[in-house]
């Protein structure tokens, strides 16, 4: 593979980045960001650190994937550049298309799966199956590190399933409530 195209989203805006290694593994790349060309010297180091030189400007960049670890179509990342974190969602063009195909079907059915954002304990269930909820309404309280955190419904709908009980220990990503 000599060149690849990526689609990145930052704060709702979409950007394209083309990476071309000229067929050589020499650390030099041509990148075209939204039509603008850059010659980039990049090195991938241990611990997901990327050292980038652009026009002799040195950037030490820390990459951290923040999406679901087992989902290759989840491109969320935290990228720290000169100590400032940019949250972006980036996928190759190919994966982006796969994702669009996969989620088109999801958004039609309008199912929202509320997951625990962290390991903890279900402190209080605020809804039960069959309840109508408003957008932004609290549905469940998860407790971790002595703090209670209320999770809210991202949309209006009906609670079709409550998957956990009060007092139950949950992991990050555990499905708690389904809203349709």
Partner 1 sequence: MKNGQPKVTKVLVANRGEIAVRVMRTCREMGIPTVAVYSDPDRVALHTRYATEAYHIGPASPSESYLRIDKLLDVAKRSGADAIHPGYGFLSENSEFARAVADAGLTFIGPPPEAMDAMATKTMARQLMAKADVPIVPGLEEGIDDEAEAKAYAVKIGFPVMLKASAGGGGKGMRKVDRAEDFASAWRAARSEAAKSFGNDEVYIEKFLEKPRHIEIQVFADGHGNVHHLFERECSVQRRHQKLIEEAPSPFVTPEMRKEMGEVACRAARAVNYLGAGTVEFLVDAHRNFYFMEMNTRLQVEHPVTEMITGFDLVEAQIRVARGEALPWGNQPQSQRGWAVEARVCAEDAMNNFVPTPGVIRHFRTAEGPYVRNDTGVYRGFEVSMDYDPMIAKVIAWGPDRQTAIQRLDRALAEFTVKGITVNSQFLRQILQYKEFKEGHYDTGIIQRFQDEQPQWFTEEHEQVAMMAAAFFLFEEEQRKGARVVTGQGTGTSGRDLHAWQRSVGVRPPFRW
Would you say 72 or 161 has its CB closer to partner 1? 72
Would you say 137 or 149 has its CB closer to partner 1? 149
Would you say 105 or 146 has its CB closer to partner 1? 146
Q: Tell me how far, at minimum, the Cβ of 171 lies from partner 1, in Å.
A: 10
Helices and strands (DSSP H and E) totals, the chain: 1, 16
Q: Tell me how far, at minimum, the Cβ of 144 lies from partner 1, in Å.
A: 4
Q: Tell me how far, at minimum, the Cβ of 56 lies from partner 1, in Å.
A: 14
Residue numbers at the binding site for partner 1 (CB under 8 A): 1, 4, 6, 8, 10, 15, 17, 19, 21, 25, 29, 31, 33, 38, 40, 42, 44, 47-48, 50, 52, 54, 59, 61-66, 69, 77-86, 88, 90-92, 117-121, 144-147, 149, 172
Quote the strand ranges of 34-156, DSSP E.
Answer: 36-45, 49-54, 57-65, 76-81, 84-92, 112-115, 120-125, 132-133, 138-144, 147-152
Instruction: Please count the other Cβ atoms lying within 10 Å of the Cβ belonging to residue 122.
Output: 21
DSSP assigned state of 46: G
Would you say 66 or 137 has its CB closer to partner 1? 66
DSSP H or E segment with residue 14: strand 13-20
What is the DSSP pairing of strand 36-45 with strand 49-54?
antiparallel
Q: Tell me how far, at minimum, the Cβ of 66 lies from partner 1, in Å.
A: 8
Q: How far apart are CA 151 and CA 141, in angstroms?
A: 6
Would you say 91 or 139 has its CB closer to partner 1? 91
Cβ contacts of 52 within 8 Å, gap of 6 or more: 40, 41, 42, 43, 58, 59, 61
Q: Tell me how far, at minimum, the Cβ of 37 lies from partner 1, in Å.
A: 12
Would you say 21 or 160 has its CB closer to partner 1? 21
Q: Tell me how far, at minimum, the Cβ of 126 lies from partner 1, in Å.
A: 16
């Amino acid at each position: 593979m000599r060149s690849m195209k990526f689609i990145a989203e930052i704060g709702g805006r979409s950007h394209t980045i083309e990476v071309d290694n000229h067929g050589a593994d020499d650390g030099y790349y041509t990148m075209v960001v939204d039509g603008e060309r850059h010659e980039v010297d990049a090195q991938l180091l241990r611990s997901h650190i990327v050292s980038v030189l652009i026009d002799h400007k040195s950037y030490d960049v820390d990459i951290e994937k923040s999406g679901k670890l087992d989902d290759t179509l989840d491109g969320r990342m935290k990228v720290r550049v000169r100590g400032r974190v940019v949250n972006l969602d980036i996928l190759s063009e190919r994966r982006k298309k796969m994702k669009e195909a996969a989620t088109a079907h999801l958004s039609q059915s309008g199912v929202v799966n509320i997951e625990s954002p962290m390991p903890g304990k279900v402190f209080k269930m605020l809804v039960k199956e069959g309840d109508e909820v408003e957008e932004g309404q609290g549905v469940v309280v998860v407790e971790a590190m002595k703090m209670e955190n209320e999770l809210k419904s991202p949309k209006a709908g009906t609670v079709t399933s409550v998957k956990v009980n009060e007092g139950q220990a949950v992991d990050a990503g555990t499905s708690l409530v389904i809203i349709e």
